[in-house]
Amino acid sequence: MKTTVAIVNEPGQPFLLEEVEIDEPRADEVLVRIVATGLCHTDLSLRDTLPAEMFPRVFGHEGAGVVEQVGADVTGITVGDHVLMSFRSCRECAKCAEGLVGYCDQSMMFNYMGFRMDGSTTHHRDGNPVYASFFGQSSMAQHAIAYADNCVVVDKSLDLATLAPYGCGFQTGAGTVLNIFEPGPDDSLVVFGCGAVGLAAIVAAKASGCGTIVAVDLMASRLEVAEKYGAVAVDPGALGEQSVVDKVKELTGGGASYAIDTTAISAVVKQAQQSLAMRGTLVALGLGAEEYAIDAIDLLQSGKVIRSSVEGESDPQEMIPRLIAMRAAGDFDVDDLVTTYSFDQIQQAIDDVTSGAVVKPVLVW
Ligand SMILES: NC(=O)c1ccc[n+]([C@@H]2O[C@H](COP(=O)([O-])OP(=O)(O)OC[C@H]3O[C@@H](n4cnc5c(N)ncnc54)[C@H](O)[C@@H]3O)[C@@H](O)[C@H]2O)c1
Ligand SMILES: [Zn+2]
Ligand SMILES: [Zn+2]
């Protein structure tokens, strides 16, 4: 059938709404009518950096919608179900068996290549392939083909536009805190970069009872939100002679137990490392840099850990319901971070998140 997608014809080109052909779902696939899709920084980074031969392409990986068709082999999902979509995993390899589905052996094929395992694309235009299957959904579209492993069925009373970003941005920030740090009252966390990912981490840290939370960002609007969520705000431009590292050490009594970087800026990652206390852990979540500078002298004498995380070590089938339950209990209130835009306002949404006017744009039909 035909459906409207936001297609990108070449790297760095705009998202254009266009009708293309979408396959009938195969036995292991479901067809989802998209209600809302969050815009994550990763959509923009990969739009700009993937090689030309991977285009034309459909992005979107925080989709939410209503199931319209279910393949014969799919279990646990029925027509009419409301689903949040996240990343794909095989659920059979050793990493998946451990629950670490973000590190699935098939992750690259399932989430990034743009076609099925047999090489076919789910979408076509004028008989030519359109690369889709992005995070097993390509949900910047009116319809998406998805899978049982990346669809999380949610209660029909929930607002899909509000919850769409749970599929990536919110899950990644919150998961990093809940799965890796598990902070308590004696701990401190510093977050460099307070977009959707960083702010979700701050909210989860507050809910966990983390003693001190420090938020670093260049944008006053983002710092205001971080303060509302219980963080102490640090604007590097307003410190005068004092360095950011010294400020964080002052606020955390000698250095933070945990740090998150979402900026993907080498100099900032180094500051995050230097802001840690002895044996502290930094999780670098940002996408965009090719290399990071490490302070080797500091690293050698401190036992610090510098690591990454795919989606905050989340299994979406576990983390999304957990965050929805936390939201219902009043412990994960990120609803205000979402601003909705109609799909034909995609460029406005990008401009607004880039300028800092909004935190998490969600596109709705
Ligand atoms: N690891 C994962 O699984 C995963 C998942 C989702 C997103 N990401 C990545 O996480 C990053 C954050 O995503 P987002 O949607 O929150 O992006 P965002 O652009 O909304 O947030 C980044 C923030 O960093 C701030 N910043 C920029 N320069 C800074 C500096 N020098 N010092 C302090 N702050 C600075 C910006 O003002 C902005 O608020 C992106 O790189 C995205 O691709 C990774
Ligand atoms: Zn796997
Ligand atoms: Zn994302």
CATH code of 145's domain = 3.90.180.10
Q: Taking Cα atoms as reference points, which of 148, 135, 119, 111 lies closest to residue 25?
A: 148
Same domain, 203 and 155: no
pLDDT for res 47: 98
Model pLDDT for residues 275-321, shown as the tens digit of each residue: 999 999 999 999 999 999 999 999 999 999 999 999 999 999 999 99
Residue 287's φ and ψ, nearest 5 degrees, are -120, 135
Same domain, 256 and 339: no
Model pLDDT for residues 334-363, shown as the tens digit of each residue: 999 999 999 999 999 999 999 999 999 999
Same domain, 15 and 113: yes
Nearest CA to ligand 1 atom 26: 193
pLDDT for res 63: 98
Split at pLDDT 50, 70, 90, the class of 271 is very high
Split at pLDDT 50, 70, 90, the class of 136 is very high
Q: How far apart are the first and last CA of the chain?
A: 18
pLDDT for res 305: 98
Same domain, 232 and 252: yes
Same domain, 153 and 300: no
Same domain, 175 and 286: yes
pLDDT for res 292: 98
pLDDT for res 336: 96
pLDDT for res 349: 98
Same domain, 69 and 155: yes
- Confirm whether 320 is domain-assigned: no
Radius of gyration of the chain (CA): 20
- Confirm whether 57 is domain-assigned: yes
pLDDT for res 104: 98
Q: How far is the CA of 98 from the centre of ligand 2 (A)?
A: 9
- Confirm whether 346 is domain-assigned: yes
- Confirm whether 134 is domain-assigned: yes
- Confirm whether 156 is domain-assigned: yes
Q: How far is the CA of 155 from the centre of ligand 2 (A)?
A: 27
Q: Is 193 in the pocket of ligand 1 (CB under 6 A)?
A: yes
Same domain, 150 and 11: yes
Q: Taking Cα atoms as reference points, which of 201, 140, 207, 195 lies closest to residue 174?
A: 201
Is the peptide bond preceding residue 56 cis, with omega within 30 degrees of 0?
yes
Same domain, 44 and 155: yes
Scan for tokens 């009872």, then name that residue: 209
pTM: 0.97
pLDDT for res 29: 98
Instruction: Choose which residue among 262, 287, 309, 315 to substitute to test ligand 1 binding: the one with the highest number of ligand atoms within 8 A of its C-beta.
Output: 262
Instruction: Choose which residue among 46, 108, 221, 263 to substitute to test ligand 1 binding: the one with the highest number of ligand atoms within 8 A of its C-beta.
Output: 263
Q: Following DSSP, what letter does each residue of 218-247 receive, concatenated?
A: S-HHHHHHHHHTTPEEE-GGG-TTS-HHHH
Residue 86's φ and ψ, nearest 5 degrees, are -130, -155
Q: How far is the CA of 106 from the centre of ligand 2 (A)?
A: 6
CATH code (residue 299): 3.40.50.720
Angle at 228 between CA 258 and CA 216, to 5 degrees: 40
pLDDT for res 20: 98
* Ligand with an atom nearest the CA of residue 180: 1
- Confirm whether 329 is domain-assigned: no
Average pLDDT, the chain: 98
Same domain, 131 and 200: no
pLDDT for res 43: 97
Same domain, 217 and 284: yes
* Total count of domains within the chain: 2
Same domain, 96 and 153: yes
Model pLDDT for residues 140-164, shown as the tens digit of each residue: 999 999 999 999 999 999 999 999 9
Q: Is 153 in the pocket of ligand 1 (CB under 6 A)?
A: no
pLDDT for res 26: 98
Domain that holds residue 216: 170-310
